[in-house]
A and B are shown apart, each in its own frame.
Chain A
Amino acid sequence: MTKPTPAGIDPRGPRFGASITSVLLLIIVFLGLDAATVDAAFYLLIAVAALFAIGAIFGLSKHPYGIIFRKFVRPRLAAPTELEDPRPPKFAQAVGLFVASVGVVLHLAGVEFGVAYAAGAAFIAAFLNAAFAYCLGCQIYLGLKRIGLIGRS
């Protein structure tokens, strides 16, 4: 049966968070390209993965970027013209968590540039979301579900 639709969120919130995330991921790629700085990149990637986990489990309203947006950014903007379902960005956070985790595992397995590959892939998605309002839930959710990679929610 259909569950009630959760309360809407300001659609600019997730894009604000995605902007910060894409800058962080770009720094991680940069640091991950050099053996001298790859450890710093690795720890930063763990931090980003932890942030994705908060978004994926508790939703963006409980995420630090969501809180920053609500407290400091949102009051300076005009009221949103429309509210957005919180579930699409939650799904995108889960995808981010998966990709960041793959980077962590690759690094631990000793794969060279494992951190940079994963951070690079996550950067593309976060950047597209921030700059072009690209929505992972719209583009890949149904495909993943149809091939059975994600089950019934």
Chain B
Amino acid sequence: MPFELKLALIAALVGFAMLAGVYWKAQTGRAKLVKSGELVDLVKLQATKNGQPVTKFGRKATVLQFSTEVCSQCKQTARLFSEVEKQHRDLLHIEVDVTNRLDLAAHFKVLQTPTTLVLDASGRVKARIGGAPKPATVKAELAKLEI
């Protein structure tokens, strides 16, 4: 194979990887509006928070975050939500590890983690965030629920 062709193929590979990275960065962590979303069933969810079972939604909103053990961005996202939760008493952050809860992953069609569902006061899904959200995205979504 001619040297120039090999170089061109290498350049194409690097260019493709860069484009893929820029595209991924642009679309990850964005919130999508969910129309007529489902009512989340806390009994089926069996989530715990600080060792206690979660039996109530947040007063105005709940962020339900799905994570796994091998997800480095899940921790960063959980930290972000915890900070926001500290500032707003009407918000509840629930994190569910779906590594061994494939039933939940299938039910909520979770393919990547973190995936976060934004729920209103009644526990109905209002928005869905695939990937790690930016603080501004979280703020904008919660503002829609008067937080």
Contact = CB atoms under 8 A, between A and B. Distances in A.
Contacts of A82: 75-76, 79
B42 to A, nearest CB: 20
Interface string A142-153: 110110000011
B70 A128 contact: no
Interface in B52-104: 68-76, 79, 97-100, 102
Interface in A71-88: 82, 84-85, 87-88
A127 B21 contact: yes
B24 A134 contact: yes
Q: At the interface, is chain A mostly helix, strand, loop or mixed?
A: helix
B40 interface: no
Contacts of A34: 1, 6
Contact of B24 (A91, A132, A137, A141): A132
Contacts of A84: 72, 75
B119 to A, nearest CB: 21
B1 A138 contact: no
Contacts of B9: 29, 33
Contacts, number: 99
A137 B21 contact: no
Interface in B1-40: 1, 5-6, 9-10, 13-14, 16-18, 20-21, 24-25
A90 B13 contact: no
A131 B21 contact: yes
A25 to B, nearest CB: 10
Given A30-B10, A33-B6, A132-B25, A11 B17 contact: no
Interface of B: 1, 5-6, 9-10, 13-14, 16-18, 20-21, 24-25, 68-76, 79, 97-100, 102, 105-106, 110-114, 131-132
11 contacts: A34-B6, A84-B72, A127-B17, A127-B21, A131-B18, A138-B132, A139-B112, A142-B68, A142-B98, A142-B110, A142-B111
Interface of A: 2, 11, 26, 29-30, 33-34, 82, 84-85, 87-91, 120, 123-124, 127-128, 131-135, 137-143, 145-146, 152-153
